[in-house]
Each structure stands twice: as structure tokens, then as C-alpha cells.
């Protein structure tokens, strides 16, 4: 599977969500979509990032933009994380990491001076017609939501 790049049409994928329903990217046709890939539910950095997106939800809505969080965690973990922090957007489970790979959110990374293979914190913006207009790898958890908001036009 090839990794997407800016300017590519995003394929229509389906992933299970914390609501118990499957979510398809095409469900949001006509809206912008922010996909943010994060390593693990209820960890310090991922919590800051998720709460940042939560706190800016009205601003994303004004820009007709939907936020979707994606990690490899299972649905039960997502449900607990969403409830604990009152998250107001869907959390999608990509346990087999196919969508992570597609967006370049899985691979080699440096952590505490050691190279490992795992989730690369990544944010993608898809426009109303399904074109990938921004793809940022190795983003920092805390400023990511506000930085992403400035990129959504």
C-alpha cells in the first residue's frame, strides 16, 4: 500500500468508532476532515492533544470541519478515554494499522534517543472534495490542535 501525499485523493475508508458504529470517510463529504493519529488513549501527551481538539471544537465547526481521532487502541479503551475527558468527536480504532500506514503515521521514530517502530503522531487535513491538503508528521501533542486550526481555511 502506498503512502498518501498532499494533493492525493484520500481513499474512502471505514473504521469502527467508540460509538459502536462504523464511520466512513465519505460520511463527511462536503466537509473538511481533520484526521489526527495518536499513540495511546489516556497518556499525558495524547490527553493534552485530545482535550485541545475538544476545546477548539466550536472553532472547527465554524470552519465546517470534522475532527476524527485515530489510534490502534480498541473500542473499549476509546470509550473510557472519551467519557473520562468528555471528548466531543469520534475516536476510531485502527488496530491493524492499515490507515496509519496509508497516511505515514506508522514507522521508524526516535523516542528518548532510541529508534523504534510505532505510531508517528500525524495530522492530516482532507478538503470537501476528498483531497489531502495537509499532512504533518511528528507533530507535538500540545500545540497540534491550535496549529491545525490555523491550517484549515
- Which cell numbers in the block locate residue 14? 471505514
Q: Which residues, other chains included, contact 28 with Cβ-Cβ below 8 Å and sequence gap of 6+?
A: 66
Q: Which of 35, 46, 68, 132 is catalytic?
A: 46
Please, what is the Cα angle at 105 between 7 and 128, to 5 degrees? Answer: 35
Where would I find the H helices in the chain? 44-55, 57-62, 75-84, 98-102, 144-151
Q: 46 catalytic, yes or no?
A: yes
Q: How far apart are CA 36 and CA 34, in angstroms?
A: 6
Which residues are known catalytic residues? 46
Amino acid at each position: 500500500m502506498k503512502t498518501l501525499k498532499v494533493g492525493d485523493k484520500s481513499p474512502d475508508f471505514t473504521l469502527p468508532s467508540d460509538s459502536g458504529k462504523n464511520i466512513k470517510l465519505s460520511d463527511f463529504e462536503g466537509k473538511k476532515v481533520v484526521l489526527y493519529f495518536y499513540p495511546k488513549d489516556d497518556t499525558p501527551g495524547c490527553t493534552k492533544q485530545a482535550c485541545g481538539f475538544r476545546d477548539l471544537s466550536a472553532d472547527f465547526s465554524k470552519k465546517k470541519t470534522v475532527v476524527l481521532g485515530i489510534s490502534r487502541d480498541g473500542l473499549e479503551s476509546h470509550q473510557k478515554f472519551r467519557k473520562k475527558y468528555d471528548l466531543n468527536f469520534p475516536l476510531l480504532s485502527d488496530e491493524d494499522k492499515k490507515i496509519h500506514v496509508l497516511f505515514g503515521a506508522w514507522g521508524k521514530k526516535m523516542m528518548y534517543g532510541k529508534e523504534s517502530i510505532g505510531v508517528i503522531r500525524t495530522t492530516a487535513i482532507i478538503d470537501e472534495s476528498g483531497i489531502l491538503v495537509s499532512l504533518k508528521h511528528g507533530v507535538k501533542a500540545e500545540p497540534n490542535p491550535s496549529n491545525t486550526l490555523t491550517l484549515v481555511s
